[in-house]
Structure 1
């Protein structure tokens, strides 16, 4: 702490002594419609330069590091006449330039409907990330996936490849209810609207119908939460009212008897625009390429926002998701001979496997108060209630001849989370130094109870043979549901409660050209779980970042951040589980190209993590046990590259590549040192290219193609050889937009390859041999969507 204080004072002194050196100015402003409403995504450029940007959700824009002089600032948007204004700027000042478009909000909405371009690039984080500055200036790798991009790929939910749009991410095995996404050597946490909602077996993965964007934050992020995984997190941002009146409807059909309908209704309830609404609806019925498998779901997501005035806003949001599906675990395949030993449409499940129901409720209440243009306070609370009435399918044993003993158990569960947050963003100046201040507190209370202790064999007399299957109806075990879950699951309750306060100061020197971030967070977290008992942790986690803008489009950064993660698990012999502690050291470069139309980022990093839990390869005489072991220290390092945006008019590109190496660096067992950590792929690359014709008789026709590549994959267990097959998937699509109508056809897995995910290697075999289990992905399949907007 003493050294940090000296560094702070030294830099402050140097900045003051250089206050009279050559300084640059800035130009900022706002674009509004004729009826006074902010206009988002309008292009702002400075003529005769390469500088360009777009307005944010509040209509604001800003250019930094502008030399003194007179400039012409131009506002352009598809279907609108461009507007220009002259502005003269002098050294060390910020010039303010506002535009009022001739069209009102509804007219601008019509223009937006006719725009056939897709937006893959985002310049600013959502308010939920609290940063209040452009992504280009943040000293961290943050990638944003837009709803436009997800719609181009016809992604329905978090289990269907949303992670392909970000470097280094791998979707691991799943049970059909929650998304298990790995990045930088471990599972990344799931956030929604800035709150950490991750649970051991949840939450229910978000349907994309109510999602505005997904922000992937690489590495620790003390400005969000310290008691999280050092590998990072993803933040799902839900749709909010825009103040514009617009509605859209989409209907999709496709392979495996897929039928899906969505509605997005956005508008004002009162004529003065103070009371706004957003309502998203979704209904889906879908079977599978596997026999007797299905997933049906529907969502209702209303949002109300009331603007008391220009300074005070209250937003109330509720989301309900219901999902009915086959029993959890029926998608897994098992063999002693290796991966892909069975046909990909094979199932071990009997024809009368019972279904599981999931009821997922969440509610938010957010209040924002702007003191002025520089200071704002946000307070929000949230309540999540996840209820599951289901069944869990697995196997108890397997022989080399293919005989298995199938087991079906109850999996009833309730997950209740309560959160509270309050934080303030502000800006002040001390001499020549500009301070961006962020501070606040976080409170969380997580509760989970489950009944997974009742199970029985589906094959008590005659084994089921995977090479000569009989998937007929069987006699199901008898379960007790008459006893309340609070009694049945009283020995499985796990809780986590935390309270934390944090303060961050980003010091801007030379008119924000050089930015130094100094931050710290204090967290008190208590946990309780049925295996390792209770824990009580108090931790201070510092954060130091440095970002330097070479010009208005290029920045270099470095960051050091710490995190810790309370965890639980069943260690053989009843050992106590220690929390994960870790730190991330990262360097990178970010650049916008061609007036901000597209961007690239390149980062290198190293994460040191202590006490990581992984699956215990030794079953200790209990084939059905789920023991864990705690590693000493793991080291994960890698390189990540992302590019996204509009390369030329009509041509949008997303491409990424990541090299990841994660291994045990310290351990009580010397034999483990150098062993790869489970659950990552050493080389991961993805791409998605879309081109839409802008002129001629075929105007509005679009073509798209994408790929997913994973090489040198590691299964999700510590034992066994790294023999998971490489992964390559090729997708394609075609679309057409004509005014308010759109038509899109996507074909996934064009090469009809046998693709697998979620590889394990466990010792379930009575003979002590390796048992491979995996999930097969769908063969070639299509989705056809028809949309209407007005």
Structure 2
């Protein structure tokens, strides 16, 4: 602790010395320095919550661990999807990596993360949204429940994608990328500056094709995102946005493998047992329309109304192990059978928000920052699943592909399912500044939720109704203008559809988060650090009581951990992104005493990400930069309470940027490490002892060129 205070004091002295040194400079030099500082701030991180997250205010003053990641940082690191940005926030883990659609399952603090786009719920009941780099302005990672976003859902946290809209200046950027495994991608970003009165626009597009490293995989993606904004005056505007993402895959969509301890990561790396050139084309589409209206009554009060509607047809084809719904695995002699599996889904999600932000004083000492509003979301999903009626012999040592497409379409209807999920919420939050040192935040959200489900095996439609109040309270102490200490308490709830043996409706899962941390901005805000600790308890978990012979809601899962985040540009030629997470997630209460203390398998026990870029800013090599990054995951849990093998993956890049144009060489997995990107080991069923995993990509390289006109 003394070492930390000495470090903070040293930083303060350096800052004061720097200010004294330049106090005699001319106004012009000072202005240029301020512009340079602000430009560097925007390069890799954001310092305030976006307007779409409603609450507003500086991240330094907000009592929660929140990381804002800019599109620029995503580009510098060679990222092409939202998941690639998540390496810049501690404790964020891809528990399933869907290479086909990019709609991955993400965990934070031991629980699934909630995904939103511009503050609006983007995914349906069964799938998160696809998020392509070409439409992303920034990514906000909010750790733990956040009632100002949504009181409904998992307690791990929320990820909000802010899309590109017209900005302060005209923009025209074009990029082209080519790389290993026939990877090709082109993007365009073209738009006008926002006018005080009149129309402005921005259009983004991307085309991508790749074969990936696994045999038979071929994917194409098309992205189009036009935005039109009309400013009635400097205080009022209307915005209309459309996002289209179309994904197509030939020969299958999954790379999951099944194997035993003695065989995992030892077969041919390119072997793709779930694919076949006879499989029909798979698709995953998204069409989203958003309408936003913003009116500022004055400098202190602003009204925002926004709505979105999303439709997402999905048709996926793959091979499973014959007679099961698992990835293909082999018997001891290397043989097995395969059968086709077709998964179709059509999801529709509509969301609306109306909220008011206001700032006012009560007396001379208290300043209030008020947020109040209502949210409404309606999500409908129709699911159809079918399994092939034929079993096809398959030999691991003599791989044979090319089954007749017509024979693959012969299947038995397995499952149809329709869900309807609707919720309406009202909320109010106030952040009260007491002088310049203390900010007390408090408020709550009341949510009404209706869920209905119907399947082919139970055609009768069943409706379930829930309501919940989720309070939030926090305190921030501004130790310095650039340093804060905070504490937070927040809640979330999640319905559990069904009834108990007594006929009573299951009460929702209720999660409680207690968190505390320290935030510090260094070098005039160019570098941000956050250290936080948390305890999350999820109550009312279903637990089977063998003695009573029934399922009871007496279970509890507890997740606790520590997080460290460092992000920014401390000096003009150095960019740093380093984070570390330590997490322990266990079953803390259960009807079966033997389960108490067992790991709750939702992410690694330890996770480390680091990325550093050094750039040359002067001389004949001006514009040249080098970067090196690493990702490490340690002790990732499984359902069988056996850890997934640890891994460390390294990446690097070399770039030359002259402002109007750039060229960038991106290298991934430079040591060619073989590792499980995600996976699980089953327990308690016929597939016990088998690993199911998706292997990470081998060494690959890409070359990217770009022009800024």
TM-score for the superposition, normalised by structure 2 = 0.88
Question: What's the counterpart of residue 597 of structure 1?
Answer: 526
Between 1:466-475 and 1:138-147, the stretch displaced more is 466-475
Change (3 A) 1:260 1:668: same
Q: Aligned to 1:143, what secondary structure does the other structure show?
A: strand
Counterpart-to-counterpart distance in 2, 1:784 and 1:613: 51
User: 1:392: Cα distance to partner?
Assistant: 4.2
- What residue number does 2:495 align with? 566
d(CA) in 1 for partners of 2:450, 2:112: 21
- 2:663 maps to 743
> Which of the residues 377, 380, 383 maps onto 1:447?
380
For 1:250, the equivalent position in structure 2 comes to 175
Q: Which residue of 1 aligns with 2:517?
A: 588
CA pair 147-247 structure 1, distance change in 2 beyond 3 A:
same
One of 365, 369, 372 as aligned partner of 1:436: 369
- Offset, 1:489: 10
Quote the residue 1:225 is aligned against: 150
Partner residue of 1:360?
286
Q: Deviations over 1:246-288 (max 9, x none)?
A: 2000000000101100000021497x76311110010011111
Match of 2:58 in 1: 134
Residues 34-433 of structure 1 mapped to structure 2, 5 A cutoff: 49=16, 81-83=29-31, 119-159=43-83, 161-175=84-98, 176-177=100-101, 178-268=103-193, 274-326=198-250, 330-338=254-262, 339-348=264-273, 349-395=275-321, 396-397=323-324, 398=329, 399-431=331-363, 432-433=365-366
Query: Does the C-alpha gap of structure 1 residues 112 and 437 become closer, same or farther in structure 2, counting only changes over 3 Å?
Result: closer
The structural deviation recorded for 1:466 is 2.8
- Give how far 1:410 is off: 1.9
2:479 counterpart SS class: strand
CA distance in 2, matches of 1:281, 1:751: 33
Equivalent position to 2:623, from 700, 725, 735? 700
Asked whether the equivalents of residues 46 and 74 of structure 1 are also in contact (C-alpha less than 8 Å), the reply is no
Distance across 2 between alignment mates of 1:46 and 1:378: 42
d(CA) in 2 for partners of 1:489, 1:304: 44
Single out whichever of 395-404 and 369-378 deviates more from structure 2.
395-404
Match for 1:517 among 402, 421, 441? 441
Give the aligned partner of residue 776 of structure 1.
Answer: 695
8 Å CA contact retained: 2:197, 2:234: no
In the alignment, the residues of structure 2 paired with residue 268 and residue 275 of structure 1 have an alpha-carbon distance, to the nearest angstrom, of 9
Report the Cα offset of residue 712 of structure 1. Answer: 0.9
Give the total of aligned pairs: 674
SS at match of 2:74: helix
In 1, Cα distance between equivalents of 2:485 and 2:271? 50
The alpha-carbon distance between structure 1 residues 524 and 495, as it changes in their structure 2 partners (threshold 3 A), is same
Contact map agreement 2:280 2:405 (CA 8 A) in 1: no
Q: 1:311 to 1:703 in 2, by over 3 A?
A: same
Q: Do structure 1's residue 733 and structure 2's residue 648 form an aligned pair?
A: no
Q: What residue is the counterpart of 2:708 in the other structure? A: 789
CA shift for structure 1 position 293: 0.4
CA distance 1:220–1:783, change in 2 (3 Å): same
Write the distance in 1 (CA, Å) between the matches of 2:593 and 2:232: 64
Give SS of 1:308's match. Answer: strand
* Cα distance per residue 1:140-169 (max 9 Å; x no partner): 01011111111011111134x322111011
Name the CA distance, whole Å, in 1 between partners of 2:253 and 2:215: 14
Contact 1:433-1:507 within 8 A present in 2 as well: yes
3-state secondary structure, aligned to 2:192: strand
Distance 1:351 1:393, change over 3 A: same
* Counterpart position of 1:535: 464
Change (3 A) 1:690 1:385: same
Please give the residue correspondences for 1:711-722 in structure 2 after superposition, counting only pairs within 5 Å.
711-715=634-638, 718=639, 720-722=640-642
Question: Does residue 1:506 correspond to 2:431, yes or no?
Answer: yes
CA contact (8 A) 2:251 2:277 kept: no
Distance 1:174 1:474, change over 3 A: farther
Structure 1 stretch displaced more, 518-527 or 667-676 = 667-676
2:86 and 2:40 map into 1 onto residues whose CA distance is 25
Please tell me the root mean square deviation across aligned C-alpha atoms, in Å: 3.3
SS of the residue corresponding to residue 464 of structure 1 reads: strand
**Structure 1 residue aligned with 2:8:** none
Asked if 1:643 corresponds to 2:566, the answer is yes
Q: 1:769: Cα distance to partner? A: 4.2
Q: In 2, are the aligned partners of 1:50 and 1:594 still within 8 Å (CA)?
A: no
Equivalent position SS for 1:172: strand
Match of 1:95 in 2: none
Secondary structure at 1:148 match in 2: helix
Q: In structure 1, which of residues 687, 705, 715 is the aligned counterpart of residue 610 of structure 2? A: 687
CA distance, structure 2, for counterparts of residue 112 and residue 686 of structure 1: 25
Deviations 1:555-579 (A, max 9, x none): 0000000110125599999997653
Q: Indicate how the Cα distance of structure 1 residues 456 and 653 shifts in structure 2: closer, same or farther if over 3 A, else same.
A: same
Matches of 2:26 and 2:52, distance apart in 1: 28
| Distance verdict in 2 for CA 1:429–1:613, change over 3 Å | same
Q: Deviations over 1:62-104 (max 9, x none)?
A: xxxxxxxxx979999xxx754499xxxxxxxxxxxxx9xxxxx
**1:603-649 per-position Cα deviation (integer Å, ceiling 9, x unaligned):** 000000124589x9xxxxxxxxxxx9988110000000000101211
SS at match of 2:82: coil
Q: Could you say if the C-alpha distance between residues 748 and 428 of structure 1 is closer, same or farther in structure 2, counting changes exceeding 3 Å?
A: same
Contact 2:37 2:526 in 1 (8 A): no
Deviation digits for residues 723-745 of structure 1 (CA, Å, limit 9, x no counterpart):
31101000000000123110000
Q: 1:650: how far off?
A: 1.2
Task: Output the CA distance in 2 between the equivalents of 1:774 and 1:351.
Answer: 22
Alignment CA distance shift 1:630-1:351 (3 Å): farther
Counterpart residue number, 1:473: 403
Q: Distance in 2 between matches of 1:559 and 1:328?
A: 46
CA drift at 1:391? 2.0
1:128 to 1:769, Cα distance in 2 relative to 1, 3 A: closer
| CA–CA distance in structure 2, aligned partners of residues 320 and 647 of structure 1 | 38
CA–CA distance in structure 1, aligned partners of residues 567 and 64 of structure 2: 17
Cα distance in 2 for partners of 1:324, 1:703 equals 35
SS in 1 for 2:644: coil
